[in-house]
Amino acid sequence: MAVRDILHVGNPLLREISREVTREELASPQMQQLIDDLIDTMHAANGAGIAAPQVGELVRIATVEVNQNPRYPYKPPIPLTIVVNPIIEAIDDEQFQNMEGCLSVPNMRGRVTRWVNVRLRYWDRHGVEHDEVRRGLAASTFQHECDHLDGQLFLDKVDDPRSLTTWEMFERFHKESFFEEMRQFVARVGS
């Protein structure tokens, strides 16, 4: 078990495109250790997810887990999910605006447009193939993590820079209305 240092925006590694992992590599102790480290680092930082490039490893692996997350209390639970070589694509035109944060962008949140319904294909940590439909806030969490594997940060997708806010100012000025917006959204799409 190891909690790794998280790279912050400005580190060029966060802008690199990560490479795919082979099944042989995935089965190696080194890659399994990296996955354990990602889980530990995500938990230690109260993240809803983390991608390998955020700890400086340029491979297409990310972890997601939401369980009464103090950073995102409005997010419905997502069981711990390890995605290896994920492919994510919208399955229709429906979009929504999320207010995202990122462990690599300290103390900043902003509004990002995301797909509501996505098809997510990936291997789990054992190399088993999965093909799933994810919706709503869960879909947006996976979109955020998959963006990291292509060197993209949520900052790149903020539609209006005036939506950017520190976490303290979010609490003070935006939290109430955004939480209500998300309550209605979750009630509508179910996740």
Give contact residues for Zn ion (rule: CB under 5 A): 102
For residue 182, what are the CA distances in angstroms to 30, 53, 121, 177? 39, 29, 26, 9
Min dist. Cβ of residue 82 to Zn ion (A):
16
Min dist. Cβ of residue 187 to Zn ion (A):
26
In the set 145, 168, 171, 181, the catalytic residue is 145
Min dist. Cβ of residue 71 to Zn ion (A):
11
Nearer to Zn ion, 64 or 102 (CB): 102
Residue 145 a catalytic site member: yes
Nearer to Zn ion, 34 or 102 (CB): 102
β partners of residue 165: 109
Nearer to Zn ion, 102 or 138 (CB): 102
Strand ranges (DSSP E) for the chain?
A: 49-51, 61-66, 78-90, 95-102, 105-115, 117-123, 129-135
The catalytic site residues sit at 145
